Amino acid sequence: MQTGGPFFLWRHLNKLRWAFLSIVFAMLVALPFLHLYQTYVSAHAYDLLAESEQRLYDVVETLTDPFVDDPVEDLDAIKGNTWSGTFWGLQLSDPLAAAGQSAAGRTLYWPFLLTALIPVVLSMVFGRFYCGWVCPATFLYELNSNFAGWLRWAGLKPGNRTFDKRLKYGVLVLGLVLSAASGSILVATIYPPAIIGREIYYAVALGGFGGGAVFFIGTLLFDLMVARRGFCRYLCPGGALYSLLGRYRVVRIRRIVETCNDCAKCNAICEFGLDPLRDGFGQECNNCTACMAICPTAALTFTLRITDYPEQGPGHLGRQYRREYAQQDMEAAE
Amino acid sequence: MKRRRLLQELLAGAAVVSAGVLPYGIAILLAPSGPARTHGSHLRPPGALKDDDAFVSACIGCSLCGEVCPPRCIKFHARDGGGAVNTPYIDPTDKACILCDKCMQACPTEALTVARRDEVDMGYADIDETACYPWVDRGICGACVAICPLGERAISFDFANVYRPVVQSGCVGCGMCVEICPHPSKPIWIVERPEDAERPPVRG
């Protein structure tokens, strides 16, 4: 089955992922501005605006004019954030929102649960893809990780502790139990993408950040000073839910042992502290494809399997394999 | 020896549980529950579940209702509210609801469900007849009657004096009258709907 290596575009998926993350984040910033714009258009209050605001609205009108008939109504096509939003009439919600709301209300409200169906199915196929490709907090957390890299380059020591990755399942279960006990959806208050979505809205449209922004800055500091990507790895309840949904995900990353040279760059780049070098992807992998992008011998590819490959041993281009198995290979060839 | 092992396991379990509860504790500390909601300056959006605890447990805090609200009257408990943090409210003294029903259609959960504009129940306007300008004969006003989106079935002038406003049973408590009222102490105010305020028969 061995062919000429992975499809050549797959090592560029990481760039596409950054484009996705940037677009999602830019939309979260743009939507509240669109909302302000709609307000003034519908109130016919354009003349009352300051000149700078009028200029901003002229730009928005010019940009949106080819796409909409009625700026008051048609700009409603995309509303909300990644926690729950409408996308041309299609309502999508985070599975954690559905879980938290069902726990807090102790009821199953099907019209809402169905809005989480598409994300759930996608997670069962692609695992934690939401964490790598959509989550607006990931955008900031990865920039924070890069910042930690600069700090390391400058001689400072960002925190590099490790904890048990199962801690986040505890956070998820405790959050649902506490939500059911208190009757308010507590998982929403500590879930970074939900925080980002609404805090940007509060800041732009309602004149000020809320308490969630403080919590989010706390998680950034936690990542910087205690553990690399610590919140996503060890604490995020949404990440725990996505990991559970992706327990038997179909699309996985696989190491091609024949072209691997044991350089361990994949282990160093992995934001989630996984072990691609020894075929340890598991349910935690968020398909960020950073390991594919950095692999010097293109030894990582996608595969369709519901479990990881069992450990395949040292890479065939690596020093260890050459030393230990060259003799056996020769014998097998004879 | 066995007891020590048990003790260690219990301690480790307690440490894991407290580490898991810690973020929730921090999040709630960041949103202290302020003074009790005073009905009238903290109305729930139209179509909200009547029981406020049920509303809080149904609302996921996605801020969609605020994002679609044309007059931008929906605010959120952003830095306060305790367990009700991130839930929406309307302060009619600042900006009142225009009963456009966009928030009810946007809400993904049952927190806000679509209701006809004359079946919305946000409260009931109450007029302080010892302060309202026409009622104390300090001039003529009628702003509340003029602004009311529901018209005569919600508020009309008193029979004896055309400028004295009287709330009718069709009032749904949107708060437009509170927003427009020129009196600094707001003698018109949204209160809980009284039991005997029957709704008028719905017309065609």
Instruction: Decide: B84 and B61 in contact? Cβ < 8 Å.
Output: no
| Interface touch A210/B64, C-beta < 8 Å | no
pTM: 0.90
Give the best-scoring range by mean pLDDT among A237-246, A304-313, B29-38: A237-246
Shared domain check, A292 and A228: no
Our CA angle for B145, B149, B155, nearest 5°, is 35
Domains along chain B with CATH numbers = 32-115 (3.30.70.20), 124-191 (3.30.70.20)
Q: Is B26 exposed, middle or buried (0-12, 13-18, 19+ CB in 10 A)?
A: middle
SS (H, E, C) A292-323: HHHCCCCCEEEEECCCCCCCCCCCCCCHHHHH
Shared domain check, A268 and A162: no
Nearest to A42 among B26, B63, B70 (CB): B70
Give yes or no for residue B177 having a pLDDT over 60: yes
Amino acid at the residue B170:
G
Q: Which of A194, A219, A243 marks a domain boundary?
A: A243
For all residues of chain A together, what is the average pLDDT? 90
Closest CA to A316 of A261, A255, A254: A261
Write the pLDDT tens digit of every residue in A314-327. 888 888 888 887 67
Shared domain check, A258 and A238: no
- Give the best residue of B29, B55, B59, B64 to mutate against chain A (max A CB count within 10 A): B64
Shared domain check, A297 and A155: no
Structural domain boundaries enclosing A268:
250-333
- pLDDT (0 to 100) of residue A3: 57
How many domains is chain A built from?
2
Residue A55 belongs to some domain of the structure: no
Write the pLDDT tens digit of every residue in A97-138. 999 999 999 999 999 999 999 999 999 999 999 999 999 999
Q: Which of A226, A243, A260 marks a domain boundary?
A: A243
* B57 near A CB under 8 A: yes
Write the pLDDT tens digit of every residue in A221-265. 999 999 999 999 999 999 999 999 999 999 999 999 999 999 999
Write the pLDDT tens digit of every residue in B64-97. 999 999 889 999 998 888 888 999 999 999 999 9
Average pLDDT over residues B146-163: 87
Alpha-carbon gap, residue B62 to A92, rounded angstroms: 12
Predicted ipTM beyond 0.90: no
Q: Which of A210, A243, A276 marks a domain boundary?
A: A243
Q: Which two tokens stand for residue A284?
A: 């935690």
Shared domain check, A90 and A236: yes
DSSP code at position B43: B
Shared domain check, A266 and A209: no
Shared domain check, A183 and A85: yes
- Give the best residue of A93, A186, A196 to mutate against chain B (max B CB count within 10 A): A186
Alpha-carbon gap, residue A251 to A123, rounded angstroms: 10
